[in-house]
Structure 1
Amino acid sequence: MAGFSSDDDSNGFHDGDGNKTAGKVIKCKAAVVWAPGEPFMMEEIEVEAPRRLEVRLRILFTSICHTDLTAWMGENESQRVFPRVLGHEAAGVVESIGEGVEDLRPGDRVVPVFNGECGDCAACRSSKTNLCCGFAVDPNRSVMRSDGRVRFYCAGRDGVRRGVGAAWNAANVDEGSKVAIFGLGAVGLAVAEGARLRGAAQIIGVDINTDKFVKGREMGITEFVNPQDYTKSVHEVVRELSKGGVDYSFECSGNLDVLRQAFLSTHKGWGLTVVLGIHPSPRMLPLHPMELFERKMVASVFGDFKPKSQLPDIINKWIIGANKINLDGFITHELPFTEINQAFQLLSEGKALRCLLKL
């Protein structure tokens, strides 16, 4: 369960032994959006017990990102399913497990992710992809895979580590390289952090919100470009600053016009553009096929990390270890869960990177 919800203490849930709710329908709080763009309503919902290979979590902390904004506004036609319980960035503990779950037990502290890994299919056994054949991210899915049903109910109705990995895995940024990042939200700044840790010599940040430049400098960005300050194309500015073009560019805004600028900002011959932004528009890529003879483009899902087998090592080495990723720098606001509408307002106005919601 990855949603903006929390078990009520009256349910009698206890970490570890003595779990009184296993196998039962429970009630908890959730922020439900009933129609596109409407304010979230704090509702009491019912959550079914986990079925085979499913896990029910007690969410303790959660945050929101621009993907949630897109879903909230109903901008993507395939995701206009309401009412909804949004959310895919959270931390919590295992409340109960379903049949066949062998490596988790009630009380385990976990971080749910949207991209699964079964460990057995051809994709999971391959080092060339992190998209599991059975549990890869599917943004259009609004029901459980096992039976095509939901597990959340409200008033009788259904409620339905990306940037760093992109720099390390999808681009494999090397020491001394030049990087340009288009869009300095949380994902873009995570790319900057990943590039900094890899020893990039020049990291150029591109955004029209100059308030983001202060935080960007903390994350390792060396130079900033505000497109509104120039009469020439942004890719020309970036290529001048990098003396011929950057080695790697990252498109983190979800804007196709920006994607073209990011693509053209790379160096001819070996430049690589990594697509990270969510593009709900039906518009096609703004590229001529011949342009792909000069530069390359790839897309990255979940930072190309295999979530189950690789994330623990990343946490131990880069979060707990000596060379730490600056995670605290991404949390710009903290609010109680009941103030979720304010959190969405801060994000939509460009005033927050990540607002931590405490349940």
Structure 2
Amino acid sequence: MAEKQVSGTTDGKPIRCRAAVARAPGEPLVIEEVMVAPPKAHEVRIKIICTSLCYSDITFWKMKDPPGSFPRIFGHEAIGMVESVGDSVDEVTEGDIVIPQFLAQCRECAVCTSNKSNLCAKFPFEMSLWMHRDGTSRFTDLKGQTLHHFLFISAFSEYTVVDITHITKLDAEIPPNRACLLSCGVSTGVGAAWRAANVDEDSTVAIFGLGVIGLAVAEGARLRGAKQIIGVDTNTQKYEIGKTFGITDFVNPTNCQDKSLAEVINEMTDGGADYCFECVGLTNLMHEAFACCRKGWGKTIVLGVEKPGTQLSLNSLVILHSGKTLMGSLFGGFKPKTDIPVLAKSYMDRELQLDDFVTHEMKFDDINRAFNLLMEGKCLRCVIWMDK
């Protein structure tokens, strides 16, 4: 963990620093100098220590139509140090180590004070280009052009400004190149198994897509004592990787011969999996996951991000007669400020596995290489160090 430092020399002043700016959809990021405004009320300016690349960054980097928008600073899995705070911030102070997260937790609204949901009502999740409270940006380039935010974080910058509702203070002495994973992907997957689905001991689980989120679901199910965890992926190499996180069986959908994927998994589980998780973001896989779910009590959890406007169509009689549950889950149902510290402690207690999620680490200057590795399927998480 980085040492706690308090400078105070930049309080209330803009900071000139480097950022990886996406100027156009699908084009390489441009590392350039930008201006980061001081935090306003309820905001915190953070010096990013390291960030990791999530596939959601790539999805929206490729997107030509709204909610895709440019120029923009992507990045939303990160850990950093508080550089300065705005008015009305008493939750953190300069020098604190924090994890920013895309989902807010205000701790005041009816949702945040209940245990029924993690979808803050006061600061709801949206694909905004701006800060949450005033609808403006804290970034400009050196020509004065506004640069858009991403998921309220924009971690591909040496400094960023984040609303306090999107920040979790971290006290555990967890290494930063592991802690950043808790900002999105790993927390989403583990949370989906623990909170959204509430996987129970000796249950059967089917996971569609073995990227980081899918593997994190497996890790969460393993820790919950699931007896059978089936990984579904077209990349057969994911089976060996998945075993580390608890995968017991593997199905390649392209090798099912004359059977449907649902028939194969229903046979493997003697009637369907108790819990199915769609972790890719494809409607056909959502249908498959629901079809593979056990009648009577099976749950299908959708975690993947489909294209905006995509419709999911299900037979109403099947819904009525099957007794199955279909639900979506943001951040796995976890409340960030409450649950991220729990995961950090679990890692430090040698329970939660994080190390094997990190397959590459590199310098900020090599960020476009990280994009290529992830798109080519050659890495799980690439950790990008801002100062190395």
Shift of 1:211: 1.9
**Map of 1:298 onto structure 2:** 327
In structure 2, which of residues 132, 135, 138 is the aligned counterpart of residue 151 of structure 1?
138
**Alignment equivalent of 1:319, drawn from 335, 347, 350:** 347
Q: Distance in 2 between matches of 1:56 and 1:18?
A: 13
User: 1-side partners of 2:212 and 2:342: how far apart?
Assistant: 22
2:51 is matched by which residue type in structure 1? T
Q: CA deviation at 1:146?
A: 2.4
Alignment pair present for 1:54 and 2:82: no
Structure 1 segments, 4+ long, off by >6 Å, are: none
Measure the CA separation in 1 of the matches of 2:219 and 2:328: 19
Q: Residues of 2 paired with 1:186 and 1:311: CA distance?
A: 17
Give the deviation of 1:18 after TM superposition: 3.3
Q: Which moved more, 1:82-91 or 1:16-25?
A: 16-25
Could you say which residue in structure 2 is the equivalent of 1:72? Answer: 61
Q: Is the 8 A contact 1:257 1:286 kept in 2?
A: no
Deviations 1:67-119 (A, max 9, x none): 111111016x3322100100110011001000000010010011110111111
Alignment-derived partner of residue 87 in structure 1: 75
Rounded Cα–Cα distance in structure 2 between residues aligned with 1:198 and 1:180? 14
Q: Which residue of 202, 212, 233 maps to 2:260? A: 233
Calculate the TM-score normalised by the size of structure 1.
Answer: 0.93
**Partners of 1:93 and 1:110 within 8 A in 2:** yes
1:109 and 2:97 correspond: yes
Listed as ranges, the gaps of 5+ residues in structure 1 are 1-13
* Residues 117 and 136, structure 1, Cα contact 8 Å, conserved in 2: no
Task: Decide whether the 8 Å contact of 2:103 with 2:336 is kept in 1.
Answer: yes
Aligned-pair identity (%):
48
Q: Determine which of 3, 6, 18 is the counterpart of 2:7.
A: 18
Aligned partner (choices 250, 254, 259) of residue 281 of structure 2: 254
Deviations 1:253-306 (A, max 9, x none): 000001110110011111110000011142211311222221111111111111
Structure 2 residue 210 is the aligned partner of structure 1 residue 223:
no
Aligned counterpart, 2:227: 201
CA distance in structure 1 between the aligned counterparts of 2:58 and 2:91, rounded to whole angstroms: 33
Q: Report the AA paired with residue 260 of structure 2.
A: S
Contact 1:61 1:91 in 2 (8 A): yes
Is 1:162 matched with 2:188?
Answer: yes
Give the Cα–Cα distance (whole angstroms) in 2 for the partners of residues 264 and 60 of structure 1: 43
1:112 partner amino acid: P
Q: Does 1:141 align with 2:128?
A: yes
After TM superposition, the score normalised by the length of structure 2 is 0.86
Structure 2 distance, partners of 1:98, 1:217, is 46
- What is aligned with 1:268? 295
Q: Would you say how many aligned residue pairs link Structure 1 and Structure 2? A: 342
For residues 186-228 of structure 1, the C-alpha deviation after alignment (integer angstroms, 9 at most, x for no partner) is 0000000000000000000000011212111111100000011
**Structure 2 unaligned residues grouped into runs of 5+:** 149-186
2:156 — aligned with what? Answer: none
TM-align CA RMSD: 1.3
Question: How many angstroms does 1:15 deviate by?
Answer: 5.0
1:171 corresponds to 2:200:
no
Match of 2:372 among 339, 345, 353: 345
In the alignment, is the contact (CA less than 8 A) between 2:300 and 2:325 conserved in 1? yes
CA 1:281–1:51: 2 relative to 1, 3 Å: closer
